Amino acid sequence: MTVSCPALLVSAPASNQGKTLITAALARAWRNQGLKIQAFKCGPDFLDPMILQTATGRPVYNLDLAMCGETDIAARLHAAAQQSDLIIVEGVMGLYDGNPSSADIAVKFNLPLALTIDASGMAQTFGALAAGLLSHYPALIPAGVIANRTGSPHHASLLKGSLPSHIAWLGALQKKDELTLPERHLGLFRANEIHDLETRIALAASMLAESASLALPPTVEFNTPVASAIEPLLAGKTIAIAQDEAFCFIYEANLECLRALGATLRFFSPLHDHTLPDADAIWLPGGYPELYLEQISSNQAMHSALHAAWKNGMPMLAECGGMMAVSQAINASPTFGLLPGNSVMQPRFQGLGVQFAELPEGRLHAHTFHYSSFISELEPLSTATTQRGKPGESIYRHGGLTASYLHFYFPSNPRAIASLFS
């Protein structure tokens, strides 16, 4: 069944143009009109979706042609169109950056494109830049342009006047401290770390609504995806999932996949809890363990609980920050000590991009982005490959523990995930 829904993909000429706040502001402005908004994020990002979830009040999903695949994306867009009044998608990096890029996703799924451009330091060039970006890929469907970080209402007026008549003006945000989002080495702060996030989103939404009409974007038809039922291979099993300040990089699609497999999910905090939930397997996702070394090293009760579970052969998956936390140490500070080896923070990122892992359980798509290195004499179980076919991240297996810098995308192979947690 083909379904229709207004939809918009928000992109930019480059990173750090303000896409996330602009997308959140648009979503909130339309939500303020009583519409049900479903947001997505292009690329394998964890942090931006947290901001968009605050703006929409609904879980946010990732769209990445390499990691998720076309079928997965089509199914999620089709489901969203049935359950929402409007779909909004935040792009990744610049419009044409990456392979596949945000532009590729926009064209593949006929998503109208809105550009947000950091207009500080320019005037009439704004129109030329917008026109060039939108005409570079003729298959794109232009929806309009938003000016970010303008200096004054007069500046915004100059920018608006520079646009060719066929490119719509979608509004402007002025350059203000309260219209920025704080960042650290892995990207934006987590949504619940920004104490006034609601205020910032509300202010940006009202400013956009004041500077343009904010008419609904064009309606898009989404075709019925190929059905792919998931067998309940984890029925009767309980997965204990680490979730707190240090362990927070969790794809919503991964949780849905585990539930579709029949698993019961129980969440716990390795930082604050002293016991593990009653469970059949443990998942330690990525996050920021390097920021909470004192809590990790001092929580001896959790240390003992994890060691007891490992000695009993419980299946465990530790991803990126999860692997760092179960290594012997991070920057010489003792951690949970399940995995032989040490993690050391580095000044530059050590791994980035989509990779593909061949495990005994099956092939999984994944993503890596980390600033630490892991040094171990343990022989890797296997080595992932990059999109260019080159060697990628090592994957380790130590007893029932599988560990890697990779963040796995569970829907890429639910059967393999079921085996991994069995």
Using alpha carbons only, what angle is made at residue 139 by residues 134 and 142, rounded to the nearest 5 degrees?
40
Is 320 one of the annotated active-site residues of the chain? Answer: yes
Q: Which long-range contacts (CB under 8 A, 24 or more apart) does 346-350 make?
A: 346/371, 346/372, 346/373, 347/371
Report the alpha-carbon distance of residue 365 to residue 357 in Å, rounded.
6
Alpha-carbon separation of residue 401 from 237, 274, 322 (angstroms): 17, 20, 11
Enumerate residues 6+ apart whose C-beta is below 8 A from 110: 141, 220, 221
Give per-residue burial for 168-180: e unless 16+ CB within 10 Å, then b.
ebbbbbbbeeebe
Residue 20 bridge partners (DSSP): none
For residue 397, the one-letter residue type is R
Enumerate residues 6+ apart whose C-beta is below 8 A from 255: 241, 265
Report the alpha-carbon distance of residue 318 to residue 313 in Å, rounded.
15
379 burial type by CB count under 10 A (0-12 exposed, 13-18 middle, 19+ buried)? exposed
113 in Cβ contact with 142 (< 8 Å): yes
- Cα first-last separation, the chain: 36
Report the alpha-carbon distance of residue 82 to residue 225 in Å, rounded.
13
- Given its phi and psi angles, is residue 19 left (phi above 0), alpha (psi -120 to 50 degrees) or beta? alpha
Active centre residues (catalytic) = 320
